[in-house]
Amino acid sequence: MRLASCAFYLLSCLTFGLCLVNSSSSDSEVNGAPLPVVLWHGMGDTCCFPFSLGSIKKLIEEHTNGTYVRSLKIGGNLVLDYESGFFIHPNKQVDYVCKQLAQDEKLTDGYNAIGFSQGGQFLRALAQRCPSPPMRTLISLGGQHQGIFGLPKCPTLKQSSCEYITKLLNYAAYEDWVQQQLVQATYWHDPLHETSYRLKSTFLADINNELYVNERYSENLNKLKRLVLVKFLNDTIVQPKESQWFQFYEPGQDQHIQPLNQSKVYENLGLALLEQRKRLHLLSVEGDHLAISKDWFVKHLVPMLLD
């Protein structure tokens, strides 16, 4: 029975894209008034499921004296919010969120942000394109900042649907209609066809300054107090998992990972300057995609929301 319970729990983690493991740590006492926190969910999730971002929202509130936490909902209801993770182009989502946050008076003085899986690169795009209200700290949990080249699992989708999406990505990711209709195609990064990726990617190549260098992106990214990139060491969803640290395959092959400081994005996007200023933080955690404990979250991430 215990083995069956553990198996069900792990399946829930991979299905809904986020797990917080109960821990024995007591609540910490917090003084002062920390900045508000904005959350952006990943693929196959929504803003408000009580077992995913709902629990994260509650956890942050408990450990920050009830600071304001806004979990982003794309569209007017949870169905649209869920579908946005697959079928609403990231450019449209980022533009929508930019307008929504500008109308939120509680964010006027700035906010911290946490992105889950693809929500990590969406929030980074927001920081680069929409600097008002100002984002102070960006924490990316499992974000695919150099894209993906493989889709081994599709949370909350039937196997047949996952197989269909995988075939589209493998054979037609850079077709215009696929780019416009499938979110995952917009950050599909084929190292065997780098030119096609740079020319035809309608989202990731742009926010990574890979087609041409948009200095505004670099300047806005360097306004962050911190860029925190969390990699899951046993990740079975993100391929390659090093993308969570802005690393990727060396061009022309899909075996060897290029060191971050040897990639063009390191200079072109201003990551080198962020690292020089000690604002780039690379963290790692044991576990599969987004499977983190409350202890780890409170110990490593909550202090960044309080500072």
**Candidates 45, 81, 206, 235; catalytic one:** 235
Checking if the pLDDT of 93 tops 50, the result is yes
Rounded to two decimals, the pTM is 0.88
Distance CA 72, CA 126 (A): 13
**Candidates 41, 63, 189, 289; catalytic one:** 289
Is residue 196 annotated as a catalytic residue, yes or no? no
Checking if the pLDDT of 296 tops 90, the result is yes
Helix (H, G, I), strand (E, B) or coil at 202: coil
Q: Which residues contact 307 (CB under 8 A, 6 or more apart)?
A: 137
Tokens read off for 199? 């020319």
Checking if the pLDDT of 154 tops 90, the result is no
pLDDT of residue 165: 73
Helix (H, G, I), strand (E, B) or coil at 213: coil
Checking if the pLDDT of 4 tops 50, the result is no
Is residue 41 annotated as a catalytic residue, yes or no? no
**Candidates 117, 140, 201, 218; catalytic one:** 117
| CATH class of the region 33-149+215-248+256-306 | alpha beta
**pLDDT 10s digits, 36-77:** 999 999 999 999 999 999 999 999 999 999 999 999 999 999
Q: Which of 11-20, 180-189, 207-216 has the lowest mean pLDDT?
A: 11-20
| 240 upstream amide cis, omega within 30 of 0 | yes
Sign of the C-alpha dihedral computed for residues 218, 222, 224 and 226 taken in this order: positive
Is residue 281 annotated as a catalytic residue, yes or no? no
Q: Domain spans of the chain?
A: 33-149+215-248+256-306
32: pLDDT confidence band, cut at 50, 70 and 90? low
